[in-house]
Structure 1
């Protein structure tokens, strides 16, 4: 990490403007931060100008706010630039880690000049989210690049710090800027600028001061390429008699290594359906745990039970039309979207969803007998599919569409009787039967078979592609069950299946297994 260099010793001349580039996404207060910096400079007798160039929507680029400032010289107004020039920016402020990386790629961060102030939290890009497996960019690569490219780096999670203090990231970034010494203004001047804003002053000052202290004491934090798994510990009470009974079952019947995942599974399935459904989940895992213990799982740390706790919950909380409708009409979702877009209390926000239902989903939502009756009549199925299979833009904030989705979400009470549920149960039991059949002969391979459930996700076309990949990976089981390295090869096949949507890498991996 480069050493601290005071502004006063590094800028002996003020004939050249001091330049600051801010890279921020919508809702992060980049415009507010830019206005604060300009207001601060003008209050100190400097002349300043800010411009902005909007980025592309859907997290493929941030807005760049560019500020230049210079002390007034003999009453003459300077001519400022409208855009940052690569190799000539004094301070770069990135409101997200990958935006810091992009600033390096753009050339606006240079080792002889630029102080880089960046938040290390992540807002994932579309390209990261659409990867079937783990498409998240490696933060360690960005940190290495910024340490090399910048004169000095201040990087920590400014988003979390701001939220803890009831503010937004612009306040904590302003505090880090004050602590960096990049501007020749005292801390009190920064605070006065926030007070002049008129709204959310106390929360902004709390975040500002917390960030100032953090940047002054420990300006950087270590990052890992492996995301930290945040699982709650098993509580003494869940606050409801039905849930307390489930918590007590976990504590009494299962190994401690599985407690966090079992508790997460109980919460997920209670939210998905009801406490009774979560009880069914514990019943099923209890049977698997008994088989695990019989197969000598205690010497393996009950790895089979631990993975069963995770993936049985995933299998039981499948994505169906009822679940999607339920998530779309939740009050918490409307509140979250309003917060993300920065809507004011007197503003109306409409969300437009793109939905493309197929008759397959409709039949899956119907009672099992009726759904099968329609599917077994191809001409009727095709006729109904022509009516249903259309793209629709749904405004969930309108009364018509909200009530429609709300009605569909209410079908959860009859979910256990639907065709989709029957098929999920059938597939789940076949998968678990295959895994338990391997326990006594190849324990590690049995664990990997459980892990293969990761391939099945989503609904509609996404779910169909996932099932196809799952089946293709499982098709290699007959070639691997008697091999000592069978578990390792099964893991490689799953990783290959997660590399691309079309399964090209999986094709190659299966051919390799076929030659063993």
Structure 2
């Protein structure tokens, strides 16, 4: 059975760069927040012919107590067995790669891109400098994730030292199960150069943790001015109750949900987001942004009513005509292959009736018999169009359906997971919010995604405070790359997570 492994961190730094301070910060961070920490160091023979290697291992105290003993932590890093490598200079990153400390299946590499030339480079008869582009390319190929920028320059701009920048970059990657606030409290406990160190830390954290989506919405956003009073009230609420940085995604979410159902449903969307905003970590812009985006997607789930509505819209017919380049003298026939299963039929019925059908005897078998074979519906004909049009008209009764009840229960549980994770770490909560990506599509595609999602949420419950944001990201990526769940099970085993799934209601 897989056992919990220590978190293994190697720091390569030259003399005077604060590598020892960085190692001490990491150990203090761990010990102050429920982990055991151990650090060792092996100095190089000179400041530029051999940097000091600081090695840190961290292990959760709760797990040690559950194991019934004291863990034996290693004194030196082994090739292929390091989670995080931190290099204070680009050549040191190259040395770490050459030593095998950096591996593409496991290691996060954090390195400054500035150069301090080695003795060999300086004493060469000609230009002995190593091409930095080659170093960067090798480091990128060798690491699972490579975070790099000129950290010496960032330290100078903050009036601090590079160790504070490296500490901030480490926090920004999310590879450790600690929040930004816990990292910053560690610097404050040190009591030396706190103000400048926090400034350097913050700049590096933001550099390592900038969400692409938030970068894209930095341009001024003009709020719409709808004439409908109900829609105007929703837009005014967004402008009044939510930060400007989230306005674009909130407006799009409201537009999507009004189209999916009605303004009252969009109001429920804002009600849920207001609870996220009011969390202790709700001020984190990335958490609110990602929750808003994925909540809108989940609340506009694809049920049979939605599919029928999309297939009978005039815009769809216009798009198909444009795609096939229909000429004026041509007729277009659109055939839809429909294969509704018992599950989809039951989910479209009122909740009580749908549950009865799923648990019934001969009525269930009768419906399964008639749905065993798919059928072709020609939506370009009057009969086929009216069949789907009438089904889309059931939108007004959607709130009473079995599917609506099931999705709302899942959404509320997902929001509870986000709130629980936010109490530990906003970065962790953001990764949990993005797990909604697994729940998509309809029919069997939806079932497979939902199964992987529930497995992942069970792992999040089991991991608790020892789960790093980067670990959730890794598990989610594994689930997205293999809908059968095989890669997810392998990744769960690697992190010693054996989630027990709760029986679905």
TM-score bin (small chain): 0.5 to 0.7
Q: Deviations over 1:347-398 (max 9, x none)?
A: 2111111111101101100111111121221442122111123211221101
Pick the aligned partner of 1:490 from 472, 476, 489: 472
Q: Deviations over 1:234-283 (max 9, x none)?
A: 42413432211111111100011211110110011011111121111111
Shift of 1:419: 0.6
Structure 2 CA distance, aligned partners of 1:512 and 1:455? 21
- Counterpart of 1:148 in structure 2 is none
- Counterpart of 1:505 in structure 2 is 487
1:273 counterpart = 2:261 = yes
Structure 2 CA distance, aligned partners of 1:297 and 1:465? 31
RMSD over aligned Cα atoms: 2.2
- Alignment coverage as a number of residue pairs: 285
1:309 counterpart = 2:292 = yes
Contact persistence 2:310–2:316 (CA under 8 A): yes
Structure 2 CA distance, aligned partners of 1:305 and 1:323? 27
Aligned to 2:421, the other structure's residue is in SS state coil
Relative to 1, partners in 2 of residues 1:296 and 1:370: Cα closer, same or farther, differing over 3 Å? closer
Aligned to 2:278, the other structure's residue is in SS state helix
Pick the aligned partner of 1:467 from 440, 450, 459: 450
Aligned to 1:437, the other structure's residue is in SS state helix
- Counterpart of 1:125 in structure 2 is none
Structure 2 CA distance, aligned partners of 1:379 and 1:357? 18
Aligned to 2:337, the other structure's residue is in SS state strand
Q: Which of structure 1's runs of 4+ aligned residues deviate more than 4 A?
A: 226-232
Aligned to 1:336, the other structure's residue is in SS state helix
Contact persistence 2:463–2:497 (CA under 8 A): no
User: Any unmatched runs of 5+ in structure 2?
Assistant: 1-211, 499-505
Pick the aligned partner of 1:381 from 364, 383, 393: 364
Q: Deviations over 1:451-510 (max 9, x none)?
A: 111100011101100101101112211343212x62110010001111123222212111
Trace 1:49-64 onto structure 2 (pairs within 5 A): none
Identify the structure with bigger relative contact order (alpha carbons < 8 Å, sequence gap 6+): 2
- Counterpart of 1:247 in structure 2 is 235
Structure 1 CA distance, aligned partners of 2:221 and 2:365? 50
Structure 2 CA distance, aligned partners of 1:238 and 1:425? 28
- Counterpart of 2:375 in structure 1 is 392
Pick the aligned partner of 1:262 from 203, 228, 250: 250
- Counterpart of 2:183 in structure 1 is none
- Counterpart of 1:321 in structure 2 is 304
- Counterpart of 1:435 in structure 2 is 418
- TM-score, scaled relative to structure 1: 0.53
Structure 1 CA distance, aligned partners of 2:320 and 2:390? 22
Pick the aligned partner of 2:315 from 317, 332, 349: 332
1:417 counterpart = 2:405 = no
Contact persistence 2:336–2:377 (CA under 8 A): yes
- Counterpart of 1:341 in structure 2 is 324
Contact persistence 1:250–1:263 (CA under 8 A): yes
Trace 1:176-187 onto structure 2 (pairs within 5 A): none
Q: Deviations over 1:315-360 (max 9, x none)?
A: 1101000000000000111011111111112321111111111011
Contact persistence 2:276–2:282 (CA under 8 A): no
Q: Deviations over 1:207-234 (max 9, x none)?
A: xxxxxxxxxxxxxxxxxxx999699934
Structure 1 CA distance, aligned partners of 2:448 and 2:238? 34
Structure 1 CA distance, aligned partners of 2:356 and 2:404? 16
Contact persistence 1:372–1:419 (CA under 8 A): yes
